[in-house]
Structure 1
């Protein structure tokens, strides 16, 4: 009877370290290849030679999902006819799983060869499922939505940085800002070009003219807004003059960066909206879910038939709660697992935050959970609302239905 080869690959930007184990966990061989097409061809030839020599009738290959260094290797191995003939299973493994598995080894050194061996041994224990090759129906959209996720994160961090700089320059402005958007055109013009002393001394008419110039005719009750700004200027701390120039320079750069990110976000949203049109789905029939949120959800889910039910989808997204029980104790306040696909979890939570505003059923559910929560009311209620949304997403995608609003009593 043939044997099974377990192959662990420690992936790097320029090279891949390979370790092959047999059924008993004994080393068969180890080698290093370059992380390019010739290196992958050499890897395949070596695996085929070893499989024929043993002989082995099953081959399982595992690698960590290290950045995107695994992408081309995984694709090439999936597409190779020699490996297909051997019934090869390929798994791209979450690094957290490998780290957790490695903890059972005591005092193990850290080398690429040992890391490859740990990956192979993890496969040998049989708790890792094969990873299907990227579905090219969804992969292009996924690149866009994941890029947007990181862009929004950068934008949020830059806004926090700018907010701190605004506090240094104009300490009462963040709290008393009369604009709906702290980083809007009119608001940015005020904090970027004027100091509290200049605002306090400026005639009201001149400040009104400035706001009219930068407000795009959207501002309401400008005289009252100018009073609020002047009051904030009088109440603000005065920055040490030696700090003024450096704060002005860094704040101007930060606001410019925010404007750049905002413009790029519009471009990526347009690209996402264009790409999602090619994928049939009904998520946009849910009130509050537009092309961007639906694209983020669809891109990460892929083929909905991969999931048996909404519970499996929720687990994939990491929207589950791990039980904490011992003897007669059973914890009620338990944290989110956060072990699933965080891109999908992000878009589900963002979508839920929008749906609760537009859909009465979800709004009522959110408010009820907000009241019931003992800590972090908004976050907990929002995540629970996202979990409720998972059920609806699974139903619509699996059955091809459009959303029908329920009547509230």
Structure 2
């Protein structure tokens, strides 16, 4: 069968006159569902709680509204608030489509007077479902990808929280230890945190000895030498008197921040251990590629999910906004950079491309093949940001192939044509 015939067959899969379209606007506590027919006439509305115990009654209400006609569901959110409903419906073999919120927003904004409420949002979802039912993706219930996504989001939140704690620690230490940046290589390292927690201000140092300070920090820093403690004390003495009023209360703030940082670091370790157990269940082996560690692979998998929902690497590139977009009018136009798409995934591949073309301190490229490809694009007339996009696009093809076939990374090796 020719591709054109296949396309016509796909368009006529649904006999729309005999189908009702159920658009569901998802919320944390309650959902709103609107049922329309093929002429976009609203024939019913159901409001129900976001609890699995209420879903059977919701389905029965939809059956009563639709009568003898078949029906298909369109959910605007199948990962967040709508995940329980999507799981329930797909588990009972109902046809469920995922409706991109961008489509719903476009329908809402197409009116001369724009307004918004739950009922109208659900109606917009139903309209998109009616117009695009042949092309919308099926909602899939995949626990492993959802769990990975939740862990990644939780880790990102803790990391951001730790950045805030670290900034607050910088601010507090600058009052008591003006030269605090010279005392330790990292202000949030193990030995540094141990020091700040036990000696939040110089007054605690003057009331003890260098030997006791050494014994306090030694358990978390086995390579520590007493000479380093003497050097730290000398630098603190050179700062002069930094004692101010209400020092005890300010010391408690430092200790509190340190405890938060240490607790968050432990939480991050626990999450990474969970990710280390979950990722092998996906079958992907992205960490075999240089530049991709546990966290990078987790973020890629959390954003992409099941790779089979993308028929080829071009669709994946469009999903993350790496493919050019054509703008034209009156027969004239050009391709321009896409600024939409999944920006989280776009940023991951952007920084991954930077790693691939980086030069090591010894002056040698870390990944000669990608560096050569980058320089080739620059010679062709592209500027460096454009050449970097080309590298990212090549990475998309490679990673797509690795995920599709679930194989390890096989580095490209040049062959010598000479006999």
Same-fold call, TM > 0.5? yes
The partner residue of 2:84 within 72, 75, 95 is 72
Report the 3-state secondary structure (helix = DSSP H, G, I; strand = E; otherwise coil) of the residue aligned with 1:25.
Answer: coil
Confirm or deny that 1:340 pairs with 2:342. yes
Corresponding residue for residue 192 of structure 2: 187
Q: How many residues align?
A: 387
The partner residue of 1:312 within 310, 315, 338 is 315
**Alpha carbons 1:366, 1:382 under 8 Å: kept:** no
Report the TM-score, using the length of structure 2 for normalisation.
0.73
Q: How does 1:218-237 map to 2 (within 5 A)?
A: 218-219=223-224, 223=227, 227=231, 230-231=234-235, 234=238
**Alpha carbons 1:289, 1:355 under 8 Å: kept:** no
Corresponding residue for residue 44 of structure 1: 59
CA 1:365 to 1:230, structure 2 compared with 1: closer, same or farther past 3 Å? farther
**Alpha carbons 1:171, 1:237 under 8 Å: kept:** no
Corresponding residue for residue 41 of structure 2: 26
Confirm or deny that 1:170 pairs with 2:170. no
CA 1:234 to 1:134, structure 2 compared with 1: closer, same or farther past 3 Å? farther
Report the 3-state secondary structure (helix = DSSP H, G, I; strand = E; otherwise coil) of the residue aligned with 1:13.
Answer: coil
CA shift, 1:125, in A, is 4.1
CA 1:280 to 1:108, structure 2 compared with 1: closer, same or farther past 3 Å? closer
Confirm or deny that 1:279 pairs with 2:282. yes
CA shift, 1:272, in A, is 1.6
Give deviations 1:101-144, integer Å, cap 9, x for gaps: 42333444443222222322333443872333122454444443
Confirm or deny that 1:398 pairs with 2:398. no
Corresponding residue for residue 131 of structure 1: 138
Q: Whole-Å Cα distance in 2 between the matches of residues 224 and 348 of structure 1?
A: 42
CA 1:64 to 1:142, structure 2 compared with 1: closer, same or farther past 3 Å? same
Report the TM-score, using the length of structure 1 for normalisation.
0.74
- Structure 1: unaligned runs, 5 residues or longer: none
Report the 3-state secondary structure (helix = DSSP H, G, I; strand = E; otherwise coil) of the residue aligned with 1:183.
Answer: coil
CA shift, 1:188, in A, is 1.8
Confirm or deny that 1:303 pairs with 2:306. yes
- Structure 2: unaligned runs, 5 residues or longer: 1-14, 361-365
CA RMSD of aligned residues (A): 4.4
Q: Whole-Å Cα distance in 2 between the matches of residues 68 and 318 of structure 1?
A: 23
Confirm or deny that 1:10 pairs with 2:10. no
Corresponding residue for residue 389 of structure 1: 395
Q: Whole-Å Cα distance in 1 between the matches of residues 54 and 208 of structure 2?
A: 72
Report the 3-state secondary structure (helix = DSSP H, G, I; strand = E; otherwise coil) of the residue aligned with 2:67.
Answer: helix
**Alpha carbons 1:4, 1:22 under 8 Å: kept:** yes
Report the 3-state secondary structure (helix = DSSP H, G, I; strand = E; otherwise coil) of the residue aligned with 1:289.
Answer: coil
Corresponding residue for residue 251 of structure 2: 248
Report the 3-state secondary structure (helix = DSSP H, G, I; strand = E; otherwise coil) of the residue aligned with 1:278.
Answer: helix
- Worse-superposed segment, 222-231 or 294-303: 222-231
Q: Whole-Å Cα distance in 2 between the matches of residues 147 and 191 of structure 1?
A: 27
Report the 3-state secondary structure (helix = DSSP H, G, I; strand = E; otherwise coil) of the residue aligned with 2:43.
Answer: strand
Report the 3-state secondary structure (helix = DSSP H, G, I; strand = E; otherwise coil) of the residue aligned with 2:137.
Answer: coil
Corresponding residue for residue 213 of structure 1: 218
Report the 3-state secondary structure (helix = DSSP H, G, I; strand = E; otherwise coil) of the residue aligned with 1:241.
Answer: coil
Larger Rg: 2
